[in-house]
Structure 1
Amino acid sequence: MRPIAILQHESTQGPGVLRDHLDENGIPYRLISPMSDGKAPVDASKFSGIVVLGSDHCVNEILPWIEDERALLQDAIRRDVPVLGHCFGAQMLARAMGAKVSRNICPNIGWSQIWITPHAQQLMGLPRQATIFNWHYDTFEIPVGAIRTMYGSHCLNKGFIRGRHWAFQGHLEVTEESVKNWCAAGRAELLRAHGPAVQSETRILKELHDRIDALHTISDQTYRAWTRQLDRPAFVALNSASNPASSPASNLASSYA
Protein backbone atom coordinates (compact mmCIF):
# COMPACT_ATOMS: atom_id res chain seq x y z
CA MET A 1 0.00 0.00 0.00
CA ARG A 2 1.31 3.44 -0.87
CA PRO A 3 1.82 5.64 2.22
CA ILE A 4 -0.39 8.51 3.24
CA ALA A 5 1.39 11.86 3.01
CA ILE A 6 0.95 13.86 6.23
CA LEU A 7 1.91 17.51 5.74
CA GLN A 8 2.80 19.04 9.12
CA HIS A 9 3.71 22.72 9.41
CA GLU A 10 3.97 23.53 13.13
CA SER A 11 5.55 21.54 15.97
CA THR A 12 2.46 22.14 18.11
CA GLN A 13 0.10 20.89 15.38
CA GLY A 14 1.09 17.29 14.79
CA PRO A 15 -1.08 14.38 13.60
CA GLY A 16 -1.95 13.36 17.16
CA VAL A 17 -4.77 10.81 17.32
CA LEU A 18 -4.80 10.47 13.54
CA ARG A 19 -1.29 9.06 13.75
CA ASP A 20 -2.47 6.68 16.49
CA HIS A 21 -5.31 5.52 14.23
CA LEU A 22 -2.95 4.87 11.32
CA ASP A 23 -0.47 2.97 13.54
CA GLU A 24 -3.22 0.83 15.10
CA ASN A 25 -4.56 -0.13 11.68
CA GLY A 26 -1.23 -0.75 10.00
CA ILE A 27 -1.67 2.07 7.49
CA PRO A 28 1.70 3.41 6.31
CA TYR A 29 2.35 7.15 6.26
CA ARG A 30 5.11 9.63 5.53
CA LEU A 31 5.53 12.80 7.58
CA ILE A 32 6.47 15.80 5.43
CA SER A 33 7.45 19.29 6.65
CA PRO A 34 6.83 21.70 3.75
CA MET A 35 7.35 24.88 5.75
CA SER A 36 10.76 23.91 7.14
CA ASP A 37 11.80 22.19 3.88
CA GLY A 38 10.64 25.14 1.80
CA LYS A 39 8.88 22.80 -0.62
CA ALA A 40 6.31 20.01 -0.86
CA PRO A 41 5.80 17.08 -3.23
CA VAL A 42 3.50 17.84 -6.16
CA ASP A 43 2.83 14.30 -7.47
CA ALA A 44 -0.14 12.75 -5.64
CA SER A 45 0.23 9.38 -7.39
CA LYS A 46 2.95 8.40 -4.92
CA PHE A 47 0.44 8.38 -2.05
CA SER A 48 -2.75 6.55 -1.14
CA GLY A 49 -4.05 9.68 0.60
CA ILE A 50 -3.04 13.23 1.50
CA VAL A 51 -3.48 14.76 4.97
CA VAL A 52 -2.85 18.48 5.45
CA LEU A 53 -2.59 19.75 9.03
CA GLY A 54 -2.83 23.25 10.50
CA SER A 55 -0.46 26.18 10.11
CA ASP A 56 0.07 29.66 11.51
CA HIS A 57 0.26 30.88 7.91
CA CYS A 58 -2.60 32.02 5.68
CA VAL A 59 -3.33 29.97 2.55
CA ASN A 60 -3.43 33.19 0.50
CA GLU A 61 0.24 33.94 1.20
CA ILE A 62 2.46 33.58 -1.86
CA LEU A 63 5.14 31.18 -0.65
CA PRO A 64 6.80 28.39 -2.65
CA TRP A 65 5.75 25.62 -0.27
CA ILE A 66 2.14 26.83 -0.20
CA GLU A 67 2.07 26.85 -4.01
CA ASP A 68 3.55 23.33 -4.00
CA GLU A 69 0.85 22.15 -1.61
CA ARG A 70 -1.87 23.62 -3.77
CA ALA A 71 -0.39 21.86 -6.81
CA LEU A 72 -0.28 18.59 -4.84
CA LEU A 73 -3.93 18.90 -3.83
CA GLN A 74 -5.01 19.80 -7.34
CA ASP A 75 -3.17 16.71 -8.59
CA ALA A 76 -4.87 14.62 -5.88
CA ILE A 77 -8.26 15.95 -6.97
CA ARG A 78 -7.52 15.07 -10.62
CA ARG A 79 -6.35 11.57 -9.68
CA ASP A 80 -9.04 11.05 -7.00
CA VAL A 81 -6.46 10.48 -4.27
CA PRO A 82 -8.41 11.08 -1.01
CA VAL A 83 -7.54 14.31 0.83
CA LEU A 84 -8.19 15.09 4.50
CA GLY A 85 -7.74 18.72 5.53
CA HIS A 86 -7.60 20.09 9.08
CA CYS A 87 -8.06 23.87 9.54
CA PHE A 88 -5.32 25.37 7.29
CA GLY A 89 -5.50 22.08 5.39
CA ALA A 90 -9.25 22.50 4.91
CA GLN A 91 -8.68 26.01 3.57
CA MET A 92 -5.97 24.69 1.25
CA LEU A 93 -8.35 22.04 -0.10
CA ALA A 94 -11.08 24.64 -0.64
CA ARG A 95 -8.63 26.91 -2.46
CA ALA A 96 -7.39 24.02 -4.61
CA MET A 97 -11.01 23.46 -5.63
CA GLY A 98 -11.36 27.10 -6.65
CA ALA A 99 -13.24 28.36 -3.58
CA LYS A 100 -12.46 31.64 -1.82
CA VAL A 101 -10.65 31.76 1.53
CA SER A 102 -10.99 34.99 3.51
CA ARG A 103 -11.07 36.43 7.03
CA ASN A 104 -13.82 35.06 9.24
CA ILE A 105 -16.14 37.51 11.00
CA CYS A 106 -14.16 36.89 14.21
CA PRO A 107 -11.33 34.68 15.46
CA ASN A 108 -12.42 31.18 16.52
CA ILE A 109 -10.08 29.96 19.25
CA GLY A 110 -10.94 27.33 21.84
CA TRP A 111 -13.78 24.86 22.24
CA SER A 112 -17.04 25.48 20.43
CA GLN A 113 -20.14 23.57 19.51
CA ILE A 114 -20.79 22.61 15.92
CA TRP A 115 -23.78 21.05 14.20
CA ILE A 116 -23.37 18.12 11.84
CA THR A 117 -25.53 17.76 8.76
CA PRO A 118 -27.67 14.61 8.28
CA HIS A 119 -25.52 13.51 5.33
CA ALA A 120 -22.34 13.69 7.42
CA GLN A 121 -24.04 11.98 10.36
CA GLN A 122 -24.79 9.01 8.15
CA LEU A 123 -21.48 8.98 6.27
CA MET A 124 -19.22 9.35 9.31
CA GLY A 125 -21.43 7.87 12.02
CA LEU A 126 -21.46 11.15 13.95
CA PRO A 127 -24.04 12.70 16.31
CA ARG A 128 -26.08 15.79 15.43
CA GLN A 129 -23.94 18.04 17.64
CA ALA A 130 -20.36 17.96 18.85
CA THR A 131 -17.75 20.16 20.51
CA ILE A 132 -14.46 20.54 18.68
CA PHE A 133 -11.22 22.43 19.17
CA ASN A 134 -10.51 25.48 16.99
CA TRP A 135 -7.70 27.94 16.39
CA HIS A 136 -8.27 29.96 13.22
CA TYR A 137 -8.92 33.42 11.83
CA ASP A 138 -9.95 32.58 8.25
CA THR A 139 -12.84 30.71 6.68
CA PHE A 140 -13.61 29.13 3.31
CA GLU A 141 -16.52 29.12 0.92
CA ILE A 142 -18.02 25.73 0.10
CA PRO A 143 -16.44 24.67 -3.22
CA VAL A 144 -18.56 23.98 -6.28
CA GLY A 145 -19.83 20.39 -6.15
CA ALA A 146 -19.08 20.00 -2.43
CA ILE A 147 -21.55 19.52 0.43
CA ARG A 148 -21.36 21.24 3.81
CA THR A 149 -20.89 18.71 6.62
CA MET A 150 -20.56 20.93 9.70
CA TYR A 151 -21.49 24.47 10.69
CA GLY A 152 -21.06 26.70 13.73
CA SER A 153 -22.43 29.84 15.34
CA HIS A 154 -19.38 32.03 14.77
CA CYS A 155 -18.12 30.31 11.62
CA LEU A 156 -20.73 28.98 9.23
CA ASN A 157 -18.59 26.62 7.17
CA LYS A 158 -16.91 24.16 9.52
CA GLY A 159 -16.58 21.30 7.06
CA PHE A 160 -17.32 19.96 3.60
CA ILE A 161 -16.92 16.85 1.48
CA ARG A 162 -16.55 16.38 -2.24
CA GLY A 163 -16.22 12.74 -3.16
CA ARG A 164 -13.34 11.25 -1.19
CA HIS A 165 -11.99 14.69 -0.22
CA TRP A 166 -12.95 15.85 3.28
CA ALA A 167 -12.26 19.17 5.02
CA PHE A 168 -12.70 20.23 8.65
CA GLN A 169 -12.36 23.82 9.86
CA GLY A 170 -11.14 22.67 13.24
CA HIS A 171 -8.80 20.23 14.94
CA LEU A 172 -10.03 16.68 15.43
CA GLU A 173 -6.49 15.41 15.87
CA VAL A 174 -5.44 17.19 19.09
CA THR A 175 -4.43 15.47 22.33
CA GLU A 176 -4.28 16.76 25.90
CA GLU A 177 -0.54 17.29 25.53
CA SER A 178 -0.79 19.10 22.19
CA VAL A 179 -3.51 21.48 23.44
CA LYS A 180 -1.40 22.35 26.50
CA ASN A 181 1.70 22.89 24.34
CA TRP A 182 -0.27 24.97 21.85
CA CYS A 183 -1.64 27.21 24.59
CA ALA A 184 1.82 27.64 26.09
CA ALA A 185 3.33 28.54 22.72
CA GLY A 186 0.42 30.84 21.85
CA ARG A 187 0.03 32.54 25.23
CA ALA A 188 0.80 36.02 23.87
CA GLU A 189 -1.58 35.44 20.97
CA LEU A 190 -4.38 34.43 23.33
CA LEU A 191 -3.91 37.67 25.25
CA ARG A 192 -4.17 39.71 22.02
CA ALA A 193 -7.13 37.90 20.46
CA HIS A 194 -10.63 39.15 21.23
CA GLY A 195 -14.14 38.27 20.18
CA PRO A 196 -17.18 36.18 21.09
CA ALA A 197 -15.49 32.94 19.94
CA VAL A 198 -12.13 33.43 21.68
CA GLN A 199 -11.44 31.60 24.93
CA SER A 200 -8.71 32.25 27.48
CA GLU A 201 -6.03 29.69 28.21
CA THR A 202 -7.72 28.92 31.53
CA ARG A 203 -11.04 28.26 29.84
CA ILE A 204 -9.47 26.14 27.09
CA LEU A 205 -7.71 23.92 29.64
CA LYS A 206 -10.72 23.62 31.96
CA GLU A 207 -12.04 20.03 32.03
CA LEU A 208 -9.54 19.27 29.27
CA HIS A 209 -9.44 15.52 29.91
CA ASP A 210 -13.20 15.12 29.49
CA ARG A 211 -13.29 17.38 26.44
CA ILE A 212 -10.49 15.43 24.75
CA ASP A 213 -12.19 12.10 25.50
CA ALA A 214 -15.40 13.32 23.86
CA LEU A 215 -13.49 14.74 20.88
CA HIS A 216 -11.62 11.47 20.37
CA THR A 217 -14.93 9.64 19.96
CA ILE A 218 -15.73 12.00 17.08
CA SER A 219 -12.18 11.75 15.69
CA ASP A 220 -12.15 7.98 15.76
CA GLN A 221 -15.44 7.71 13.85
CA THR A 222 -14.30 10.29 11.30
CA TYR A 223 -10.85 8.83 10.68
CA ARG A 224 -12.26 5.30 10.36
CA ALA A 225 -14.75 6.51 7.76
CA TRP A 226 -12.09 8.42 5.80
CA THR A 227 -9.47 5.66 5.78
CA ARG A 228 -12.08 3.12 4.63
CA GLN A 229 -12.01 5.01 1.31
CA LEU A 230 -8.30 4.44 0.71
CA ASP A 231 -7.17 2.21 -2.12
CA ARG A 232 -5.54 -0.85 -0.60
CA PRO A 233 -3.72 -3.85 -2.09
CA ALA A 234 -6.11 -6.51 -3.35
CA PHE A 235 -4.90 -10.05 -2.67
CA VAL A 236 -5.93 -12.62 -5.27
CA ALA A 237 -5.53 -16.37 -4.74
CA LEU A 238 -4.19 -18.10 -7.85
CA ASN A 239 -5.85 -21.38 -8.77
CA SER A 240 -3.14 -24.02 -8.93
CA ALA A 241 -5.22 -26.09 -11.38
CA SER A 242 -5.20 -23.27 -13.91
CA ASN A 243 -1.60 -22.42 -13.09
CA PRO A 244 0.33 -25.70 -12.68
CA ALA A 245 3.62 -23.89 -12.33
CA SER A 246 2.51 -22.25 -9.13
CA SER A 247 3.73 -23.55 -5.81
CA PRO A 248 2.10 -23.18 -2.35
CA ALA A 249 4.58 -20.45 -1.54
CA SER A 250 3.59 -18.49 -4.61
CA ASN A 251 -0.19 -18.89 -4.45
CA LEU A 252 -0.80 -15.26 -3.49
CA ALA A 253 -0.28 -12.27 -5.72
CA SER A 254 -1.08 -8.68 -4.82
CA SER A 255 -1.80 -5.56 -6.84
CA TYR A 256 -3.06 -2.10 -6.02
CA ALA A 257 -6.83 -1.82 -6.14
Structure 2
Amino acid sequence: MKSQIDQLKGEAEANYSASRWEDSAKTYEHLVGLAQQNNELEQAIEFAIAAIHAWKQMTDKETRINRLYQSIGLIGVKKAAIGFEQQAKTAETNNELKNSALNFEEAGTGYSLIQNYDRAKTCFESSVKIFEDLSSEAMKDADFETAIHMFDRVCKLYEKIITVLDKILIDKKELDRVAKHSLLEEKAKMEKNMALSKKNKAYSHEKLAQSYLDKDEPDCNRIAEKEYSKAIEILESIDEIQLAKKLQTKKENIT
Protein backbone atom coordinates (compact mmCIF):
# COMPACT_ATOMS: atom_id res chain seq x y z
CA MET A 1 0.00 0.00 0.00
CA LYS A 2 1.30 3.42 -0.93
CA SER A 3 2.02 5.92 1.80
CA GLN A 4 0.08 9.18 1.98
CA ILE A 5 3.09 11.05 0.63
CA ASP A 6 3.47 8.67 -2.32
CA GLN A 7 -0.24 8.95 -3.13
CA LEU A 8 -0.20 12.75 -3.00
CA LYS A 9 3.00 12.90 -5.00
CA GLY A 10 1.33 10.79 -7.70
CA GLU A 11 -1.64 13.15 -7.72
CA ALA A 12 0.61 16.20 -7.98
CA GLU A 13 2.56 14.69 -10.86
CA ALA A 14 -0.65 13.69 -12.66
CA ASN A 15 -2.10 17.17 -12.26
CA TYR A 16 1.10 18.71 -13.57
CA SER A 17 1.08 16.41 -16.61
CA ALA A 18 -2.54 17.38 -17.27
CA SER A 19 -1.65 21.10 -17.01
CA ARG A 20 -3.72 21.49 -13.86
CA TRP A 21 -1.05 23.78 -12.48
CA GLU A 22 -2.85 25.14 -9.44
CA ASP A 23 -3.98 21.72 -8.21
CA SER A 24 -0.46 20.39 -8.70
CA ALA A 25 1.17 23.34 -6.92
CA LYS A 26 -1.17 23.20 -3.93
CA THR A 27 -0.63 19.46 -3.55
CA TYR A 28 3.13 19.92 -3.66
CA GLU A 29 2.85 22.67 -1.04
CA HIS A 30 0.93 20.26 1.19
CA LEU A 31 3.64 17.67 0.61
CA VAL A 32 6.27 20.16 1.79
CA GLY A 33 4.60 20.25 5.20
CA LEU A 34 4.16 16.48 5.40
CA ALA A 35 7.79 15.86 4.51
CA GLN A 36 8.94 18.30 7.18
CA GLN A 37 6.77 16.57 9.77
CA ASN A 38 8.60 13.35 8.91
CA ASN A 39 11.97 15.16 9.02
CA GLU A 40 12.46 14.29 5.36
CA LEU A 41 14.02 17.67 4.68
CA GLU A 42 15.63 16.89 1.33
CA GLN A 43 12.29 15.62 0.10
CA ALA A 44 10.57 18.75 1.44
CA ILE A 45 12.93 20.90 -0.62
CA GLU A 46 12.22 18.78 -3.71
CA PHE A 47 8.47 19.26 -3.23
CA ALA A 48 8.92 23.01 -2.75
CA ILE A 49 10.88 23.23 -6.00
CA ALA A 50 8.19 21.21 -7.79
CA ALA A 51 5.53 23.58 -6.44
CA ILE A 52 7.53 26.55 -7.72
CA HIS A 53 7.68 24.99 -11.18
CA ALA A 54 3.91 24.51 -11.13
CA TRP A 55 3.15 28.05 -9.97
CA LYS A 56 5.49 29.44 -12.62
CA GLN A 57 3.18 28.07 -15.29
CA MET A 58 0.62 30.63 -14.14
CA THR A 59 0.63 34.42 -13.97
CA ASP A 60 0.56 36.64 -10.88
CA LYS A 61 1.83 33.91 -8.55
CA GLU A 62 4.99 35.69 -7.40
CA THR A 63 3.80 35.85 -3.79
CA ARG A 64 3.29 32.08 -3.61
CA ILE A 65 6.63 31.48 -5.32
CA ASN A 66 8.47 33.83 -2.96
CA ARG A 67 6.96 32.05 0.05
CA LEU A 68 8.23 28.76 -1.29
CA TYR A 69 11.72 30.17 -1.73
CA GLN A 70 11.56 31.34 1.88
CA SER A 71 10.42 27.87 2.92
CA ILE A 72 13.39 26.32 1.16
CA GLY A 73 15.68 28.67 3.07
CA LEU A 74 14.06 27.82 6.39
CA ILE A 75 14.21 24.10 5.65
CA GLY A 76 17.92 24.54 4.99
CA VAL A 77 18.33 26.28 8.35
CA LYS A 78 16.40 23.50 10.07
CA LYS A 79 18.59 20.90 8.39
CA ALA A 80 21.70 22.75 9.56
CA ALA A 81 20.36 23.06 13.11
CA ILE A 82 19.64 19.34 13.29
CA GLY A 83 23.11 18.64 11.94
CA PHE A 84 24.77 20.89 14.52
CA GLU A 85 22.77 19.24 17.30
CA GLN A 86 23.80 15.77 16.16
CA GLN A 87 27.44 16.83 15.99
CA ALA A 88 27.15 18.32 19.47
CA LYS A 89 25.84 15.07 20.92
CA THR A 90 28.54 13.05 19.17
CA ALA A 91 31.25 15.40 20.42
CA GLU A 92 29.86 15.22 23.96
CA THR A 93 29.94 11.41 23.82
CA ASN A 94 33.57 11.60 22.68
CA ASN A 95 34.35 14.03 25.52
CA GLU A 96 35.14 16.82 23.05
CA LEU A 97 33.37 19.24 25.33
CA LYS A 98 34.25 22.62 23.83
CA ASN A 99 33.35 21.39 20.35
CA SER A 100 30.10 20.01 21.74
CA ALA A 101 29.21 23.31 23.41
CA LEU A 102 29.93 25.29 20.24
CA ASN A 103 27.75 22.99 18.15
CA PHE A 104 24.90 23.12 20.67
CA GLU A 105 25.07 26.91 20.47
CA GLU A 106 24.96 26.86 16.67
CA ALA A 107 22.01 24.48 16.78
CA GLY A 108 20.20 26.78 19.18
CA THR A 109 20.78 29.73 16.88
CA GLY A 110 19.38 27.77 13.95
CA TYR A 111 16.30 26.66 15.83
CA SER A 112 15.70 30.25 16.92
CA LEU A 113 15.73 31.37 13.29
CA ILE A 114 12.98 28.91 12.40
CA GLN A 115 11.09 29.88 15.58
CA ASN A 116 11.46 26.49 17.24
CA TYR A 117 12.10 28.25 20.53
CA ASP A 118 11.68 25.29 22.87
CA ARG A 119 14.34 23.30 21.05
CA ALA A 120 16.56 26.38 20.79
CA LYS A 121 16.33 26.84 24.54
CA THR A 122 17.28 23.21 25.16
CA CYS A 123 20.35 23.52 22.94
CA PHE A 124 21.46 26.79 24.52
CA GLU A 125 21.05 25.26 27.97
CA SER A 126 23.18 22.27 26.97
CA SER A 127 25.84 24.63 25.66
CA VAL A 128 25.87 26.87 28.72
CA LYS A 129 26.19 23.90 31.08
CA ILE A 130 29.29 22.66 29.26
CA PHE A 131 30.88 26.12 29.12
CA GLU A 132 30.22 26.58 32.84
CA ASP A 133 31.99 23.29 33.56
CA LEU A 134 34.91 24.33 31.35
CA SER A 135 35.17 27.72 33.06
CA SER A 136 35.28 26.05 36.48
CA GLU A 137 38.04 23.72 35.32
CA ALA A 138 40.01 26.64 33.93
CA MET A 139 39.77 28.49 37.24
CA LYS A 140 40.96 25.41 39.14
CA ASP A 141 43.93 25.19 36.77
CA ALA A 142 44.65 28.92 37.22
CA ASP A 143 44.16 29.34 33.47
CA PHE A 144 42.51 32.71 33.88
CA GLU A 145 42.61 33.74 30.23
CA THR A 146 40.68 30.62 29.24
CA ALA A 147 38.29 31.16 32.14
CA ILE A 148 37.59 34.70 30.93
CA HIS A 149 36.80 33.38 27.46
CA MET A 150 34.54 30.64 28.86
CA PHE A 151 32.66 33.01 31.18
CA ASP A 152 32.17 35.37 28.25
CA ARG A 153 30.54 32.57 26.26
CA VAL A 154 28.38 31.71 29.26
CA CYS A 155 27.16 35.30 29.59
CA LYS A 156 26.26 35.50 25.92
CA LEU A 157 24.41 32.20 26.10
CA TYR A 158 22.35 33.38 29.05
CA GLU A 159 21.45 36.44 26.98
CA LYS A 160 20.28 34.12 24.20
CA ILE A 161 18.24 32.00 26.61
CA ILE A 162 16.57 35.13 28.01
CA THR A 163 15.75 36.28 24.47
CA VAL A 164 14.27 32.88 23.65
CA LEU A 165 12.15 32.96 26.81
CA ASP A 166 10.82 36.37 25.80
CA LYS A 167 9.90 34.98 22.39
CA ILE A 168 8.19 31.97 23.97
CA LEU A 169 6.13 34.32 26.13
CA ILE A 170 5.09 36.29 23.04
CA ASP A 171 4.57 33.21 20.87
CA LYS A 172 2.45 31.37 23.44
CA LYS A 173 -0.02 34.06 24.41
CA GLU A 174 -2.59 31.41 25.27
CA LEU A 175 -0.52 30.18 28.23
CA ASP A 176 -2.41 30.08 31.50
CA ARG A 177 -1.27 32.23 34.40
CA VAL A 178 0.63 29.43 36.12
CA ALA A 179 2.63 28.53 33.01
CA LYS A 180 3.36 32.17 32.28
CA HIS A 181 4.48 32.75 35.86
CA SER A 182 6.78 29.73 35.60
CA LEU A 183 8.42 31.13 32.47
CA LEU A 184 8.87 34.53 34.10
CA GLU A 185 10.48 32.88 37.11
CA GLU A 186 12.79 30.97 34.80
CA LYS A 187 13.71 34.20 33.04
CA ALA A 188 14.51 35.86 36.37
CA LYS A 189 16.71 32.89 37.26
CA MET A 190 18.58 33.18 33.97
CA GLU A 191 19.13 36.89 34.58
CA LYS A 192 20.62 36.09 38.00
CA ASN A 193 22.81 33.41 36.47
CA MET A 194 24.02 35.86 33.84
CA ALA A 195 24.88 38.44 36.50
CA LEU A 196 26.76 35.80 38.49
CA SER A 197 28.67 34.75 35.38
CA LYS A 198 29.65 38.35 34.74
CA LYS A 199 30.84 38.59 38.32
CA ASN A 200 32.89 35.43 37.83
CA LYS A 201 34.32 36.87 34.65
CA ALA A 202 35.33 40.00 36.54
CA TYR A 203 36.96 37.83 39.20
CA SER A 204 38.91 36.03 36.46
CA HIS A 205 40.19 39.38 35.20
CA GLU A 206 41.19 40.25 38.76
CA LYS A 207 43.07 36.98 39.21
CA LEU A 208 44.79 37.47 35.87
CA ALA A 209 45.84 40.96 36.95
CA GLN A 210 47.27 39.58 40.17
CA SER A 211 49.17 36.89 38.27
CA TYR A 212 50.85 39.58 36.16
CA LEU A 213 51.76 41.57 39.26
CA ASP A 214 53.53 38.49 40.60
CA LYS A 215 55.80 38.44 37.56
CA ASP A 216 58.98 40.43 37.31
CA GLU A 217 58.70 41.19 33.63
CA PRO A 218 58.41 44.36 31.52
CA ASP A 219 54.89 45.72 30.97
CA CYS A 220 53.35 43.41 33.60
CA ASN A 221 52.07 46.34 35.65
CA ARG A 222 50.49 47.92 32.58
CA ILE A 223 48.77 44.65 31.65
CA ALA A 224 47.57 44.22 35.24
CA GLU A 225 46.05 47.70 35.17
CA LYS A 226 44.17 46.82 31.98
CA GLU A 227 42.82 43.63 33.54
CA TYR A 228 41.70 45.51 36.65
CA SER A 229 39.98 48.07 34.42
CA LYS A 230 38.09 45.32 32.61
CA ALA A 231 37.01 43.78 35.90
CA ILE A 232 35.89 47.16 37.25
CA GLU A 233 33.85 47.87 34.12
CA ILE A 234 32.07 44.52 34.39
CA LEU A 235 31.32 44.94 38.09
CA GLU A 236 29.92 48.43 37.56
CA SER A 237 27.66 47.10 34.79
CA ILE A 238 26.00 44.73 37.28
CA ASP A 239 25.88 47.29 40.10
CA GLU A 240 28.60 45.62 42.17
CA ILE A 241 29.84 49.07 43.12
CA GLN A 242 31.65 48.16 46.34
CA LEU A 243 33.63 45.40 44.66
CA ALA A 244 34.45 47.76 41.81
CA LYS A 245 35.76 50.36 44.28
CA LYS A 246 38.00 47.77 45.96
CA LEU A 247 39.52 46.86 42.62
CA GLN A 248 39.93 50.53 41.76
CA THR A 249 41.97 50.91 44.93
CA LYS A 250 44.12 47.92 44.00
CA LYS A 251 44.64 49.38 40.56
CA GLU A 252 45.67 52.75 41.95
CA ASN A 253 48.16 51.07 44.31
CA ILE A 254 50.09 49.51 41.46
CA THR A 255 53.57 51.00 41.44
Question: Which has the larger Rg?
Answer: 2
Larger RCO: 1 or 2 (CA < 8 Å, sep 6+): 1
Greater fraction strand:
1
Q: Is the TM-score greater than 0.5?
A: no
Structure showing the higher helix proportion among its residues: 2
Q: Taking structure 1 as the reference length, what is the TM-score of the superposition?
A: 0.24
